[in-house]
Amino acid sequence: MPFQLDIIQRPSWQLVLNWRCWAVGIYWHDDIIGLSLGPLGFTWYPGDDRFKRFCRSWMLFERRIGRINVHLDVDTYTWRIGYIVAASWDHGLYLGPVSLQIEFDRWNDESA
């Protein structure tokens, strides 16, 4: 079963069902703006970079524990509450603009 199902897809917007996203909120980056309501997401592509000036992010804390990297970020362009699995090795807990990212280093296998 795919993780994402495109319910409606148009050139300037799309409505998707994404089982890896369990968050509520809005996000924007460069030329997109999106709304997440649990696994249901709406993305709009206005065709310009009107949101680029509002995109700022800061990493407040980073800690590496073995092959797991944990960092606390503040992103002005993501306002969500919930949990998102970007990939099997990349997880995020979101509370407003603050996110705790937990990433597993699957590329650097030191045991080999």
How is residue 56 annotated by DSSP?
Answer: -
d(C-alpha 4, C-alpha 1), whole Å: 9
For residue 104, the one-letter residue type is: F
The pLDDT assigned to 108 comes to 56
Taking the C-alpha atoms of residue 45 and residue 54, their distance in angstroms, rounded to an integer, is 16
Q: Is residue 73 a contact partner of residue 57, using CB atoms and an 8 Å limit?
A: yes
Give how far the C-alpha of residue 16 lies from the chain's centroid of Cα atoms, to the nearest Å.
Answer: 14
Largest CA distance in the chain: 47
Place of tokens 């804390």: 61
Separation CA 15–CA 18 (nearest Å):
10
Predicted confidence at residue 110, as pLDDT, reads 53
Q: Is the pLDDT confidence value at 95 over 90?
A: yes
Q: Write the pLDDT tens digit of every residue in 16-61.
A: 999 988 999 998 877 788 999 999 999 998 877 766 777 788 999 9
